Structure 1
């Protein structure tokens, strides 16, 4: 079976984003269901979010509380924040593969990619 993982890189300092709250939702026609929430560790990573029997084909969202992370580090932010909660909507087409969905973030921009 595959697994779903994530990590956060704070590009303002070029280091892992430790202490970022992350929530994983399953998404379907009926709406969203929270599957798991976690906080990134010192390496900016969470334990696998899905693996084994929980790894299923479908649509998902990862929500990162990036604005709270930067505020907690004393970064001067506008009100309202330009980057606050970052939502990455993605699909898992093959539950036997690994999906790594990282967040590269600053208070002004973010990006992601599919890793393995």
Structure 2
């Protein structure tokens, strides 16, 4: 199993480089923290076990309204790849399960 994310700044149409992202278990235990690369990606987050986890994005430099975006997701099959993208603009965001 592997986990990755990608953040796109929808206001500029460019990747959100340098964004701090934290991976946590549902109980709040921090599993990893990193920064998006020049393409807005983190490709090598540690593979979480089955269960619910959170990716917490420090979005304050892009959004004056959303200083942080939390995406909770559930790993049902630890053998699969999970990609959790974030599309962010100053006053909205969306996500989906990517491939």
- Please give the TM-score of this superposition, normalised by the length of structure 2: 0.93
Q: How many corresponding residue pairs?
A: 99
Of Structure 1 and Structure 2, the greater helix share is in: 1
* Structure 2 gap ranges (5+): none
**CA distance in structure 2 between the aligned counterparts of 1:82 and 1:39, rounded to whole angstroms:** 21
* Structure 1 gap ranges (5+): 71-76
Q: In structure 2, what is the equivalent of residue 60 of structure 1?
A: 53
Question: What RMSD in Å do the two structures reach over aligned CA positions?
Answer: 1.2
- Please give the TM-score of this superposition, normalised by the length of structure 1: 0.80
Of Structure 1 and Structure 2, the greater strand share is in: 2
Residues 18-97 of structure 1 aligned to structure 2 (within 5 Å): 18-27=17-26, 31-51=27-47, 55-67=48-60, 69-70=61-62, 81-97=64-80
Point out the structure with max Rg over C-alpha.
1
Alpha carbons 2:22, 2:57 under 8 Å: kept = yes
Q: Which runs of 4+ in 1 moved over 2 A?
A: none
**CA distance in structure 2 between the aligned counterparts of 1:93 and 1:40, rounded to whole angstroms:** 25
